Each structure stands twice: as C-alpha cells, then as structure tokens.
Structure 1
C-alpha cells in the first residue's frame, strides 16, 4: 500500500505563507456601522444598531426611525428617506436636546471621506443657535453635525469639537435632503466621534439624517465634478483618479439623489463623462462620482447640485413661415385699404 507523501517546507517558504496569512488585504472600507439606519427596532422606534442615543434630562422626543413621507411622531409631511427605507429624524411633542453618535476608527495611511444626507423642516419661524445644546437656554432651535473627541461630553460644543461639519440655525425648511461631504483624512490613525445633534425649544424641529458614510481607501476622490443637464439626463465630467500600488482604478460610478427625497439614480463608466438618465423633470438632484477599484469603491467626489430641468424654450419661427405671415398681413391690410378707397370714391360720385 502506498504511503502518503509528506512535504517539508523550507523556512523561506513558510515565512512567505505566514506573511500572506497575517498581512491584511488592502481594500476600500466602509467605516460607519448602520449608516443608513435600516437596522432599527421598527418604524417609529428610537433605537439604531451601532449608534448611541443621548438626550438632556427633561427632554421630550428624540431621533426616530422614520419612513415614507410622514414624520414618525407628529403627523407632518416630510421628505422621504433618500436611501433605503428608513432615515433617522428628530421629532418631539415638546422641547428637548438630542444626539446620536458613533465612534469611528480612521486607519493610518489612507484617505477617508465623510458623506451624509441631511434634511431640515422647522415649524417655528424664529430660530437661534447659541453656543450650547441646552434646551433650557431660550431661544435655542438648531441642528448640527460635528467631529468630536470621544473623551468629550456628548453635548460639548467647545474644545471637544474637532470640526463642525454642518450647522443649521435658520430658515423654515431645507427643501429636501441635501448632500454634505468632508475630507477626514487628517484624522487617520485615531478614533473620532461623529455626532448628530438637535435642540428645539420654539416649536417642532424635524432634522433628518440618512446615508451616513465614511469611506477609507488608498485612492482619492475625484477632485471636482461638472454637470450639464439636458431634459432627464445629466452629463457629469470629472478628472481621472490615479491607481495606487494596492488599488487599481477600474471605472467610475455616478449617483444622483433627488433633492426632495426618493430613489437614487446611478450610472457607471470607465472614464469621464458619465451620463445619468431617468431624472424627473423639474426636480433638482445632488450628484457625486466615485472611483471603482479592484478591491471596492473609493470615496465620493464633492457633491454638485443639478437644478431642475428648465422649461422648454419656444421653437423659433422658420424664416419661410415669418415671410408668409408678413405677406398675409400685407395683403389683408392692403385689401382693407383698397376697400376703403372704393367706398370713398362711391361717396364722392354721389
């Protein structure tokens, strides 16, 4: 009976195999857990996987799992989530201060880009943003997104805030979800806290947040995007993104989000430009472009706003049609003048 063969690996081969096992594969990675708020306890609930919820003592309401085009607690029409089924949206029967936060570790030696979709609807005409999240300070009607030191108190607005990403303190509504983007590569090698916060003590404040993402990658985002809309199609132009030793750029994906909420439209291509079709007439969109690499998707470009398609211009009158119109007018007027002269002659003959 043949005996099984045993292979003896040299030390060099063993080290190569061990290095292959222990060295993590370089890849573009999503660093936010449950950034779309789809993992929750159900519509109208206040719990989101991966997120810590905080409220000031005595506050009413909070951030709820909102779906469709109505707020979770108060029967008010709001914009639908721009991505997936749910968004996190503040709602309240009375004054309060609320926050959702998540700690995010940014890997060393990689680029990282934060992107988020936000919506505001304010039931109170007046608003104010004092340097505090205390709802007992009157007036205080504001919403903000901050990058924070994880050691800072959840409601800090001072030294614990490393960077303010978004600050709202006025206006009745944002007119739909808007895209916000921030380069967070400066925090590579450390853990940051991403905080979503709102305060209301005037009337209801509906602060919707969705599609929260921090993409870490070896490639950079497209530096800028140009947009040219013709009807239901927008053509996006952008500079190329260079490949890196660990990630090869294989193409690009463009996505456009309607300003009032709704389905995201995507298109792909191997280079600039990329045409995105299926836009709804009269609806504005926010569009971004991201490189697709051999190991995943890179960070998105700075967003570009695409206005609603303009009304169709009146068709110019062809030259022959204009000439015919003028000739007909001349003949009519000439006929009227000739008839008048004939009547005058008959009167004189009498």
Structure 2
C-alpha cells in the first residue's frame, strides 16, 4: 500500500472520529412529555400566572364555561404554555454546555395575544412604573441565548448577557396561525463558546392583556452525532487497510 493511500485511510478515520466526538449540545425534555422536568420557571414577583403544561386544545387556565381555544401540541401530548388572570412576566429556561460541531436549534412557538398589540421596550419586566406612577406598556415574547457565567438577573436583556436573540415580537406584528417552527444555525456560536455554560430562555411579558406563549419540540439537530452507515463502512475499510499495512511492515 502506498503512503498516499495510507494517509487517506488515516484521514478518513480521523474525520469519522471527529464527527462522532463533536456532538451538538443536548437539551432535556424538549417535548415536555415529562412535564417541566429539566426546565426552570421564573416569574416576576407581584405578577400573576406562570408556565404550565398544556395538552388538548384549551389554555391551561381555561374556564370550562368559557374555554380559550388553542392548537393541540404539535409533538407528543404536551407543550409548555403561559397563562394568567392578570399582568405578569414569565421565563422558561434550560442551561447547557456549548460544544463544537453542527448545532441547529429548532423550536415550535404558538402566540395568542389578547392585548391587541405588541410593545417591546428594552425590558422583560411587566411592572415598569416610573416616578410619576405611569407604567410602560410591555407586551412581548423573546427567545434568547445567554451567557450564564456573569448572569445576575434571569430577566436581563443586557447585551453583555445576551449572546443571541432568536425571536422577538415587535409593534405591528401579527401572530401566525397555530404553532410555527423557528430554526437557527448556532454552529458558529457554539464553537466560539465551547465548554461554557449557556442558557436557552423563553420569555413572555404582558401588561396590556392576556398573552399566551406555547413552546414545544425544542431540540438541537446534530448531523454529526452518529455517522451515516456509508461513512461507517468506509471507516471500517480504512481500519482494515491500515491494520493490513501495519502487519506487513
């Protein structure tokens, strides 16, 4: 066997091993089939409501006499959804360790805005009462990736904490019908922060009227975690060729 063939076999083997080792980050219970296990919920003090598990086709706090209809969860039996009887600010988040490799984040969002419009000030707090007693309108939904190491306030939107904003409602936006799949290629971000603890955060704030945020099917798609069968066969051939060369030498 020539040196060039030997080098090729070694290169193929290293490529397969690299593909296996550089898996995307892992999220726990992204379909909420185990309730809210693996996720953390935070609510601003003084507000009403929180994140609930939603199943079926009604909001979690629907009055049976006056049900509020929503779509069924798009994946499995459960989704996470905010609901309340008054203003509030609610977070659903999960921390994970960034790793190099292909990392495509997908999640399904549902939005039902009973407040009539969106307002998105640079804050996630529902109570922004100023010194003259006027409260800033805040009716928004955000999805962010945050750096955990220096994070003091889970509701922070400071640029030093937020590495990437993945979704935000803005004035004039019209919520889409049903659940919508949002996709972001975070390969570069994961590579530049490999080994660091990051946070995926879903946030909902409302002080104009009811605002329901549904979340489901949250996952990192990783094309590198398990090599394709054809790649494994090539790697096996490379290993066999390499072993034969070593025996002859």
- One fold, TM greater than 0.5? yes
SS of aligned partner of 2:117: coil
Alpha-carbon separation, structure 2, partners of 1:55 and 1:162 = 22
CA deviations over 1:232-265 (Å, ceiling 9, x no partner):
xxxxxxxxxxxxxx72366xxxxxxxxxxxxxxx
**Relative to 1, partners in 2 of residues 1:206 and 1:26: Cα closer, same or farther, differing over 3 Å?**
same
Task: Report the counterpart of residue 156 of structure 1 in structure 2.
Answer: 156
Residue 29 to residue 164, structure 1, CA distance change in 2 (3 Å): closer
Q: What is the CA deviation profile of residues 89-128 of structure 1, one whole-angstrom value per residue up to 9, with x for unaligned ones?
A: 11110001000111111223x1111100001110111320
Matches within 5 A, 1:238-253: 247-248=227-228
- The normalised TM-score by structure 1 is 0.52
Q: Secondary structure at the match of 1:187?
A: helix
Mark the runs of 5 or more structure 1 residues left unpaired by the alignment.
1-22, 41-47, 220-245, 251-292, 295-350
Q: RMSD of the TM alignment (CA)?
A: 2.3
1:207 to 204, 213, 232: 213
Unaligned runs of at least 5 residues, structure 2: 1-17, 129-135, 233-249
Match of 1:143 among 126, 129, 141: 141
Aligned-pair distance for 1:27? Answer: 7.7
Partner of 2:42: 54
Quote the residue 1:105 is aligned against.
Answer: 97
Quote the offset at 1:28 in angstroms.
Answer: 5.3
Offset at residue 172 of structure 1 (A): 5.4
1:277 corresponds in structure 2 to none
Instruction: Compute the displacement of 1:161 (Å).
Output: 0.6
Pair 1:187-2:195 in alignment: no
Segments ≥4 residues shifted beyond 6 Å? none
Structure (1/2) with the larger helix percentage: 2
Task: Give the aligned partner of residue 57 of structure 2.
Answer: 69
SS of equivalent to 1:111: coil
TM-score, normalised to structure 2, is 0.72
> Structure 2: how far apart are the matches of 1:249 and 1:27?
18
More relative contact order in 1 or in 2 (CA 8 Å, sep 6+)?
Answer: 2
| Contact 1:123–1:204 (CA under 8 A) maintained in structure 2 | yes
More strand per residue? 1
Rg larger for: 1
Q: Would the aligned equivalents of 2:126 and 2:205 in 1 still touch at CA under 8 Å? A: yes
* Correspondence for 1:177: 179
**Partners of 1:50 and 1:166 in 2: how far apart?**
22
